[in-house]
Structure 1
Amino acid sequence: MTGTARAAASPWPRRFLALGLVLAALNLRPAVTGLGALMEEVRDGLGMNGTVAGLLTSIPSLCFAVLGPAAPRLARRWGPAAVVCAGLAAVATGLALRPFAGGVAGFLLLSALALAGIAVGNVLMPVVVKRWFPDRVGPMTGLYSMALTGGAAITAAGTVPLADAMGGGWRPGLAVWALLALAAALPWAVISRRPGERPERAAREAAVAGTVPDRPSGGIASEGAATGTTSERPVTGTAPKGAERAEATTPNAAPHGAHAPRSADADDARAPRITSSPTAWALAVFFGLQATGAYITMGWMPQIFRDAGVSASTAGLLAAVTMLMGVPFSFLLPRLAARLRNQGPLVVALVACGLVGYTGLWLAPVGGSWAWAVLLGIANSSFPLALTMIGMRARTGAGVVRLSAFAQSVGYLISIPGPLLVGRLYQQTGGWGLPIALLAALMVPQAVAGVLAGRNRSVEDEFRIR
């Protein structure tokens, strides 16, 4: 019996995995938002200029771009749960040690270690949702997106008070968040030891026994061949137009009586290239531009307010408000997006909030600070919308894995220059006029890419067309 079949028989395994999902998501932003709250103190303590600080805020995108494509293969070899657990251990290690590295180079390297762990979690969270909650992709995406933004808000608001309370300056204020990552790793260590969580081992054991891995009847289509997992996708209700043809022609479908499944690498070689899909490219650009704005906001927003005359603790609260706005929208947007055939209007509405927020931040950073924080928080809710569209633009779990890895890795590559350029502009001009104007200008291509990505189509359809 597969992991999904067991979960269907008893609700507790899925509830335990939901807990692990929430705990993991809480750790996907503190490495960035905690640093943003104390950026001025870190720069002073390490002798870091604006350009190097910009490089520091670019490291998340670099790690996500480099490690994003590797995450599915690691999950195929070791299982998603084991990879997520290892990622959380890397987060805990990096966060605990980087404040005490003793120099800029060590701080950057240990930040990269923590962000590498976050990168694999970013890519594998949609895979875990699709695998364990195939009938509740929208709500579960909303749940872990809420936890992700909640973790960012808690860190932004709590880092400065914790640093003051511990009396050791910025170093213990940053290191304390390693405890949260350590706590999150524990349930994933348990989940990773469950039978069936190591896909290649299960496949080898099945081959030795002369059988194929369990595949429940009643309209369950295996996703394992291409994803490297043994997850299943229930097919209920009316199939989308063309779905029957897709299932009939999918390379995963073995002929009746086949004695062993094809390898995942063989399926990867036969599958059409994801780069042939215009929708995949639109999603990658949309993801990259929203990530640019989000990471600049998380890394620099407290400093923008502090330079305008706001106290450090209030600046942290303003950043927390920005993050907290994502909590209800992370829950509502995936559900609303799942009900719409075209998600373009949602993209346009979020971009409009961002344009107003950046304009206000430029013209009156102190007088309307709370309003700008709210509007920019709404605009940054593009992240859960992007994840939801990734799940909706592919018909199968295999398609979701490939599309998620492509959109996130290419998207994060696109987002790398943004934080670095903002840091450079800040250092050269000594103010925030040009950096904020840059952020506002980037909202326009983000809207265009989001409207294209929101059209009602799947990447598999585009493969067949070409």
Structure 2
Amino acid sequence: MSLTPRREKIAGRIGALLGILLMALSLRAAVVSVPPLLGSIGPELGFTSFSTGLLAMLAPVVFAAFGLLTPRLIRWLGLEKVLLSAVLLAVAGQLLRATVGEVSSFLLLSVITLAGYGMGNVVLPPLVKKYFPDRLAVVTSGYVTMLAVGTWMSPQFSVPLATATNWRTSIAAWSLLSAVVLVPWGIQLFRDRKNKRPDTPLVNGLVAVHPVRINPWKSPVAWGLAIFLAGNSAQTYVYFTWLPPYLRDQGLDAAAAGSMLALFAILGLPVSLLVPLIVPRLRHPVAAVLVFTGCWIVGHLGLYLSPTDHTVVWIIFSGLGQGTFAIALLMMNLRSRTTYGSGVLSGFSQGLGYAGAAIVPLLFGIVKDATGGWSASFAMLAGCILVMLTGAFMINGPRKIEDGKNGPSPAIELERVL
């Protein structure tokens, strides 16, 4: 019995869908699986306060560097080859750093691992646009949800796994999750080659035969999304870095402080699932941004003014504020016309966005030490809110990254896919 054209079309993309979801699930493992194990890793490898701080900064810095580099690799190699290279780098880095005996090698191999995941961050939005131009909202919802699951899952299971074995086995085990990504993508690429799927940017069922060269440095859309992502990510990195120390300083025990961080992380799940399904229906996406910004503000104020009373309530509000990150990932496709444009926008916004976000957690601690209290540091979060809102209004209109001053570029020639 032959498949209907609709079912056959969906069946032809199963490998891509599984590959996208599994890659999203593995992207945060290298970042959030190590900090819970530093109590075991640090004494054995010789971590100091400086090297621990350096490790904390590696993720946003490496993500920023490879965010800017990856669009060039996409243009040179193609989306799928860049993705496979990213997976191989991530797997090799994770496996090798589980074997080292001193801190400098661990940090170097962490850079290699994060380089792979940084490339993966960039290629996911254009892969969604290429393979699922007719299902952008649903697939984006799925992969952003998997990001949230991975962010929660890695720290949740790293310590029990290390307790049952050792820290080396624990951090090496997450490489298996990345390696599995190769299976569905291998199947998909074999099918694409067999069916001669065009490896060119899609625009609503059309192929861009001659994609225009895009200069994101001159694009208000690209700058707006980068600014928006920087303001959002800075707040998230501050929470992941400083929430437990802050709550312990206010009188909570270590277990309770850790539970609050886990609650913050898991609340990314519901918003990640719903945001991509709702925001594309809005005429003005900034309306959704304002709702989630209100959640951030209530959470920040509650934690500052009453950190030990109703702490769970404040964490819930801040956790729901993470919906702004899901909006940022969705806009990489909603503010581009082609897969190439999506890749450029993804790379530029994540490159500059993570670079800006990397500075804030460091300054948060420096300001706290300099002032002897948390007030000035919390005031920095207000600055992050203003930065995020500035970017949100810049990307609120329907303008795309490929658009010139007078609308869509005439350099994009389209023909129907038969």
TM interval, short-chain normalised: 0.7 to 0.9
Q: 2:270 matched to which residue of 1? A: 328
Distance 1:177 1:311 in 2: 29
Amino acid in the other structure paired with 1:31: A
Q: Cα gap change, 1:366/1:93 in structure 2, threshold over 3 Å: closer, same or farther? A: farther
Q: Does 1:449 align with 2:391?
A: yes
Q: Does 1:345 align with 2:287?
A: yes
Q: Deviations over 1:330-378 (max 9, x none)?
A: 1211121100121112112222211222223334444433223322221
The secondary structure found in structure 2 opposite 1:176 is helix
Distance 1:171 1:436 in 2: 36
* 8 Å CA contact 2:126, 2:343 repeated in 1: yes
Q: Does 1:125 align with 2:124?
A: yes
Amino acid in the other structure paired with 2:105: G
1:84 Cα offset (Å): 1.7
Distance 1:364 1:185 in 2: 48
Q: Does 1:373 align with 2:370?
A: no
1:294 Cα offset (Å): 2.1
Q: Does 1:20 align with 2:19?
A: yes
- What are the residue-to-residue correspondences of 1:187-226 with 2, within 5 Å? 187-196=184-193
Distance 1:444 1:11 in 2: 42
Distance 2:310 2:96 in 1: 38
Matched length? 404
Q: Cα gap change, 1:356/1:231 in structure 2, threshold over 3 Å: closer, same or farther? A: same
* 8 Å CA contact 1:156, 1:319 repeated in 2: no
Q: 1:163 matched to which residue of 2? A: 162
Q: Does 1:233 align with 2:203?
A: yes
Q: Cα gap change, 1:51/1:372 in structure 2, threshold over 3 Å: closer, same or farther? A: farther
Q: Cα gap change, 1:54/1:358 in structure 2, threshold over 3 Å: closer, same or farther? A: farther
Q: 1:223 matched to which residue of 2? A: none
Q: 1:402 matched to which residue of 2? A: 344
* 8 Å CA contact 1:84, 1:188 repeated in 2: no
TM-score, normalised to structure 2, is 0.84
- What are the residue-to-residue correspondences of 1:261-340 with 2, within 5 Å? 267-268=212-213, 271=214, 273-308=215-250, 310=252, 312=254, 314-340=256-282
**Considering only aligned residues, what root-mean-square deviation do their CA atoms show, in Å?**
3.2
The secondary structure found in structure 2 opposite 1:101 is coil
Distance 1:189 1:291 in 2: 33
- What are the residue-to-residue correspondences of 1:94-109 with 2, within 5 Å? 94-109=93-108
Q: 2:82 matched to which residue of 1? A: 83
Q: Cα gap change, 1:71/1:135 in structure 2, threshold over 3 Å: closer, same or farther? A: same
- What are the residue-to-residue correspondences of 1:40-189 with 2, within 5 Å? 42-43=41-42, 46-166=45-165, 168=166, 170-189=167-186
1:453 Cα offset (Å): 1.8
1:43 Cα offset (Å): 4.9
Amino acid in the other structure paired with 1:416: A
1:447 Cα offset (Å): 1.8
Q: Cα gap change, 1:429/1:398 in structure 2, threshold over 3 Å: closer, same or farther? A: same
1:143 Cα offset (Å): 0.5
Amino acid in the other structure paired with 2:294: A
Distance 1:442 1:139 in 2: 29
Distance 2:51 2:369 in 1: 10
* 8 Å CA contact 2:70, 2:119 repeated in 1: yes
1:160 Cα offset (Å): 2.7
1:19 Cα offset (Å): 1.4
1:308 Cα offset (Å): 4.8
* 8 Å CA contact 1:30, 1:151 repeated in 2: yes
Distance 2:353 2:270 in 1: 25
Distance 2:339 2:105 in 1: 39
Q: Cα gap change, 1:79/1:395 in structure 2, threshold over 3 Å: closer, same or farther? A: closer
* 8 Å CA contact 2:148, 2:268 repeated in 1: yes
Distance 1:433 1:289 in 2: 19
Distance 1:194 1:76 in 2: 22
Distance 1:338 1:153 in 2: 26
1:157 Cα offset (Å): 2.2
1:31 Cα offset (Å): 1.6
Distance 1:49 1:56 in 2: 10
Amino acid in the other structure paired with 1:296: V
* 8 Å CA contact 1:280, 1:406 repeated in 2: yes
Distance 2:371 2:58 in 1: 23
Distance 1:296 1:40 in 2: 21
Bigger Cα displacement from structure 2, 336-345 vs 74-83: 74-83
* 8 Å CA contact 2:73, 2:82 repeated in 1: yes
Q: 1:35 matched to which residue of 2? A: 34
Structure 1: where are the runs of 5+ without partners?
1-5, 203-212, 216-228, 237-246, 254-261
The secondary structure found in structure 1 opposite 2:260 is helix
1:398 Cα offset (Å): 3.2
1:100 Cα offset (Å): 4.3
TM-score, normalised to structure 1, is 0.76
Amino acid in the other structure paired with 1:174: I
* 8 Å CA contact 2:89, 2:112 repeated in 1: yes
Q: Cα gap change, 1:303/1:42 in structure 2, threshold over 3 Å: closer, same or farther? A: farther
Bigger Cα displacement from structure 2, 295-304 vs 17-26: 295-304
